[in-house]
Amino acid sequence: CSKVDRSAAYMARYIAKNIVAAEFASKCQVSLAYAIGVAEPVMIEVDTFGTGKVCADDCLAAAIPLVFGVTPVQIMESLRLNRPIFRQTAVFGHFGRKEFPWERTDKVLDLQDAIL
């Protein structure tokens, strides 16, 4: 869980699902980029593929750090990645399964407060 390439992929999925669940877009892809030794992401990018309904993609990207913890430590804590769950991810994939915390859509109200 300490490898930010994997944990950030889970967080990006979690953020994108919440943006769609908040009905800010019909489709959403979130990209996070990190540099060695820098806790905050060096890039947060949102692409709604032209389906954005409330504001531009850069507006959504700006709201992400207001709602989600995006440092590696915050990601591990919010998605509870220190638990022994990675064996489960090896079978049937990492995404689309309700038992994983990055599949929740529990930040919809927080996103709406930050953006609206």
Contact 18, 63 (CB under 8 A): no
CATH number of 4-107: 3.30.300.10
Domain boundary assignment for the chain: 4-107
- CA-nearest of 20, 7, 13, 12 to 108 is 20
Q: How much of the chain is in helix, strand and coil states, percent to nearest 5?
A: 45, 10, 45
Confidence at residue 92, expressed as pLDDT on a 0 to 100 scale: 65
How open is the CA angle 106-44-26, to the nearest 5 degrees? Answer: 50
List, for residues 72-94, the tens digit of each pLDDT value: 999 999 988 887 666 666 666 67
- CA-nearest of 22, 8, 34 to 59 is 22
Residues of the chain with confidence (pLDDT) below 70: 1-2, 84-93, 97
